[in-house]
Amino acid sequence: MKICFLGAGSVEFTQGLLADLFALPELDGVEIALHDIDEERLATAEAAARHIPGISRKITSHLIRREALDGADFVINMIQVGMIEATRIDFEIPARYGLRQTIADTIGAGGVFRALRTFPVLDAIAADVRAVCPDAWLLNYTNPLAMNVWYLSQRVRNVVGLCHSVHWTAHDLAELVGVPYEEVSYAAAGVNHQSWLLRFEHEGRSLYPKLDEAIERDPGLLRRVRVDMYRRLGFYPTETSEHSSEYVAWYLKNPGEIERLRIPIGAYLGISEENVRAYERARDAVRAGKPVAVEATMEYAPQVIHSMVTGVPRVIHANVVNRGLVGNLPEGCVVEVPAVVDALGVRPTAVGDLPPQCAALNRSYVSVNELTVRAANDGRPDHIRHALMADPNTAASLTVEQIWSLCDDLVAAHGDLLQRSLR
């Protein structure tokens, strides 16, 4: 069995996934092919991987992507096109217009342009997959996850988007209400980073009343975006408050709301800078011949691979094309729903209609996704503007003339990273 890592130079994340994989005895003898376009990062990732204990394995590294993909059974995609330099552009130019962002990787100005500079690389990845490993499962972590899975699903046979937000939401809420996570049953559905905890139960009883009690005991919880949204919508959103604030029109345009809910503007810039420092620490440790500290991740990819290889069933929350899965979201968009994983692959579960207030917010998100994917597929630069005109936070914060000028500035700034027809 062969597993290919694309973007393996994201050393810390790669190491965590490998530690999980190497702890699974059923995968003994696995071949790991690491790919990155950065020679130094690739060498660091390979050297660090060799220090991870566990099963026997073969590790190879490749600057040429198709060589890494050749014969792969699973492909884990975690590339970041443009790296921290492009992320700075995604924040700094919108900020000049007065557009506030926190993470900027899902929708909004940052999400749209992160997608547009990623799509050309995804197109090349898809061509390589079709040529040398057409039956492989492509497990995508790269954000904006929903847009990337939508784009890839039109180009490769087996693709699923993986994100830890549902798991960690349920985990942290279980801790908050004082129930062991292992005893909690839960199900969420919606779109990536804006799914809704539809069921959250212990021994057949809803835990939402206990959550209400916890919020009442601790008024500080009311100063979180997710808690504010839960109290107004009736269902808890499954991504952090920083993320959640960007996907609606209500918060970031208003300095008073930013203060009330303690929203950290530009938070992802600090996270990105720390990621660079973490990589540099790993690189320096490897150069000194020291092992890199690795912790288990609880990420879905190793679990998915294990279930497909062994047939041991698991339930995860997967991002897949909506083919009758969520009744009141558009067919063909990418939704996040519970899914069974076993030897037959990833089999998503139909959840019916979402609560209408939740679906209404998801439809705004999906509209941004659709217009961004169409911009690339159809070579329509005007759809970039349309996507940001439809984006809730952008539309609430800027005039339409400002939105058009912002798009022009971002297109010019990202330059050659975008496909030629959109420049």
User: b or e along 21-54 (b: 16 or more beta carbons within 10 Å of the residue's beta carbon)?
Assistant: bbebeebeebebbbbbeeeebbbbbbbbbeebeb
Q: Name the active-site residue from 51, 164, 171, 202.
A: 164
Q: Is the dihedral of CA 187, 191, 195, 196 positive or negative?
A: negative
**306 carries an active-site annotation:** no
Helix (H, G, I), strand (E, B) or coil at 63: coil
Q: Which residues contact 401 (CB under 8 A, 6 or more apart)?
A: none
Q: What is the C-alpha separation between 43 and 57, in angstroms, rounded?
A: 17
| Residue 155 burial (C-beta neighbours within 10 Å; 0-12, 13-18, 19+) | middle
DSSP 253: T
Closest CA to 94 of 387, 414, 412, 409: 409
Q: What is the C-alpha separation between 312 and 303, in angstroms, rounded?
A: 10
- In order, the DSSP letters of 368-390 are HHHHHHHHHHHT-HHHHHHHHHH
CA-to-CA separations, 241 to 12, 90, 252, 368, in angstroms, rounded: 24, 20, 12, 20
Q: Which residues are catalytic?
A: 164
